[in-house]
Amino acid sequence: MGARTTKSHTLFLDSSSDVDEEASQDSARCFMGAEYQQILQPLGLTTQKAERRRDDLRQLAMRYEVECLGASSYERLQVLRDCMQKRQEHQQILRTAITAHGGPTARLNAQVELLEAERLMKQTKQELEESGFWCLVPADPKEVEVERQIRDIQRWERAFDDWVHTLNELTPRLFVEIVTLLRIEYNQENLNRFLRSLSLELTWNRVEARVQEMFSWKDPKRHLSPWDLFKPQERNFCVIGCENGRELHRFEESISQKKFPEGGDCCQVLREFASKTFGGQHALIFEATYSISPAVQLFELSDMDLTLTLKALVDAGQGSQCFNTVLGKTIVRESLRRTIGFRLLDGFVDVLIVILLAHLGYKVQIQQKPETRTLWSFGALGIWVCIACLGRVLSGLRLFWDSVRPCSSFLAAIAKHLTLWNSLITLAELFSVYVGMRFLSFLPDPDLAGFDFFQAHPVMISALVLIRWTLLAIDFFQLEEIGRRVVPIVHAVSRPASVYFLFFLALMLAGSFQAYSVFPIEENIGGANKVLDTFLKIFRLEVLGDFDLNELEGINDKLTGKVEASNGTIHGDVDADPSDWSDKYHRGVRFEFMALSLGVTVVVMNVYIGLLGSLYDNATKRKNQLYAHYLASCCYRHLCLRLLLWQICCCGAPCAACHEDAEDEGAGARLYWLAYEKDTLLDGNDD
């Protein structure tokens, strides 16, 4: 790193540090070209070279953590110093005559402020103890006292400055490399430590002090407020701006009472009503948490760097804590902002396709030919779906393709994107494209004879309707009130424990079907339709608990009775004739029914229901992380398409849109401020 970083460690660490300066400087260099592409390939993450590099990055992550600890200790010591000053001031007020300081009101206010200061001091000292603060203090008994460290605050201020300068130098590509190599570790402890070291949470009194110092305010009673309005459209997460940037006016608007509207209007009333009705949110304001981050280059990413950074975080997995950190949430928020147009377009296209399918389905039902304009419209939408699907796939593969090793890098790129979710989405889109192209192929025929295929096989349109409605439902997951509650359900169903249990259930169904099909029941013998009907009997019995013993034996119920001549009343019953029972399998079918209904219908299915409930409970405890991971996965697909379209428009040359926020990159000594609702950032709370 730089000279300032080395100096800070000589202040707090022993000179025989395990972190080699040359290795640290090597880590600060960003990878370029083929070398950068190779480090991202999953095929090389477990090699000896990767492990040596991973060891260097572990030490670098530990260094970031130590520097962050020094910065947080500085902030906590500042809190203690401010509290001590306030305590002295308010104690002086309490010792003075009531009339000299505004009467009983001033005295009561002083008591409240004194109580608050004492609570904050106690909490901050406890945080210092738990943070490992003493490991940064020289091994001298006289240095252990907190009061002595407060008097020596300048040394801790230098530690804070070193943390800022070090993270100002953190490049997006080094960030991607660290995340990519450390994500494969069990529990990802080093990765989580690294991500947490990139930001620092501030107490409210430190926010006030920093803002007053930033604007040189002399009035300490400026109308600052930690409370903020719930903003579902921004997911209650706001990047206020850069402390040394050009938009300082945003700080006063975001931290003062100016964030609240001056007067109530119809729109404000409707927003409050919608929040209560649709979001179930009766609280309209929350106490914001403020953090600072010196990793400024991660806030000013080009489209290419943002796509690679987002992909690295997504690959860390749904169980990772990456998106429960401030930087992870920031990257997701920026991705959402840049892809909003593509996401809206996708939703609009899905709605149009569903509407057209409703009309086409009706025409198939009544066996009529649709209008030509309907087929043209569906074909045009199919062409856009094809372009978007292929664009995302090709752009994603191109990101990780290396011309030096084309074959291995191509396979690695496929492996990086070959997930169950991506495969199902791609297959669904390709099926839509296939149907759309079939429609376009028989448009030249005035009689639309080609549509007879869909009339003869209505299952094609039916399957497409189910697929498009599923994709439309997935689009609605991006609405936070829906997604945060539904994504854990999808996650629970797709867990390995659930999938393997369903595989076991499928084996049980296959075995039961084969055992039942052995009985020589006449209605079960025949072609494919007979086999399907036989399987559905077992499926209904074991999965749904729906059965008819006579149906299992292939016996039809008979109506027996008589009609009274006097009043025409019919007396009788509906039941099978015992003479129809077969001596070959009558008892065998009933014994098998008891075994299957008890073993599968009662035991296995109820165990699976309990398993799903347990998996869902575990998923809801991590709903914020899971939902953020889902949003990041969606945004990555749209960013790939955005990259490809911009490169096509610019004929392959770098365009302004790919570097829209990177003009201040590398300026140094800068901090970004963020305000957010902590409950939606971290997990562990239910609503």
Tens of pLDDT, residues 10-68:
344 333 334 344 434 444 343 433 445 555 555 467 778 888 889 999 999 999 999 99
Distances (CA, A) of 179 to 52, 121, 188: 15, 36, 10
C-alpha 50/C-alpha 48 separation (Å) is: 5
Helix (H) or strand (E) holding 425: helix 420-441
**CB burial of residue 500 (10 Å; 0-12, 13-18, 19+):** exposed
pLDDT reading at 391 higher than 80: yes
Per-residue pLDDT band at 585 (split at 50, 70, 90): confident
pLDDT reading at 205 higher than 90: no
More confident residue, 682 or 485: 485
619 neighbors 626 (Cβ within 8 angstroms): yes
- Percent of the chain whose pLDDT exceeds 70: 79
- Total Cβ atoms within 10 A of residue 145: 11
405: left (phi over 0), alpha (psi -120 to 50) or beta: beta
State how far Cα 588 lies from the chain centre. Answer: 53
Average pLDDT over residues 420-425: 87
More confident residue, 185 or 580: 185
pTM of the prediction?
A: 0.84
83: left (phi over 0), alpha (psi -120 to 50) or beta: alpha
C-alpha dihedral, 156 to 159 to 161 to 162, nearest 10°: 170
Tens of pLDDT, residues 62-97:
999 999 998 988 888 888 888 887 777 777 777 775
Average pLDDT over residues 280-298: 82
C-alpha 596/C-alpha 547 separation (Å) is: 12
Average pLDDT over residues 340-353: 94
- Total Cβ atoms within 10 A of residue 30: 16
**pLDDT for residue 523:** 86
C-alpha 556/C-alpha 492 separation (Å) is: 42
Distances (CA, A) of 134 to 63, 77, 126, 596: 16, 13, 12, 65
Domain boundaries, the chain: 1-198, 339-476, 498-620
**pLDDT for residue 341:** 93
Residue 121: closest CA among 83, 155, 166, 174:
83
C-alpha 43/C-alpha 471 separation (Å) is: 32
Tens of pLDDT, residues 432-472:
999 988 888 888 888 888 888 888 888 999 999 999 999 99
Residues in the chain: 687
pLDDT reading at 411 higher than 50: yes
